Amino acid sequence: MKMMTVLFASSMLLSSCYSYTSVVGEGAKGNSQTTQWNHYVVYGLAPVGVSDSKKMADGAKDYTVFTRQSFVNGLVSALTFGIYTPSTTTVTK
């Protein structure tokens, strides 16, 4: 039982944040960034409010979308026991 507890605690502590990048057109040409949180419930299974990268790009044809679960997002998720699971989207144009 003690070994199972240690393995479970280790797996929780060693879990990592995720991130992915999408390039639209030729990608970002400058350093102008817009950041918004995405709102999910039930461990990220049900979206409540998700950012629209096209609106965030404000008409730009070439931009880069970077979506991640930051440390702060993970902390909020842990504090709510996964009931609320946010992520962050940043659009660079």
pLDDT in tens, 49-90: 999 999 999 999 999 999 999 889 988 998 999 899 999 999
pTM of the model: 0.78
Query: What is the torsional sign of CA 41, 24, 34, 92?
Result: positive
The average confidence (pLDDT) of the chain is 90
Q: How many contiguous H segments (helices) and E segments (strands) does the chain have?
A: 3, 5
Name the band, by pLDDT with cuts 50, 70 and 90, for residue 11.
low
Q: What is the pLDDT of residue 9?
A: 74
What is the pLDDT, as a whole number, of residue 15? 58
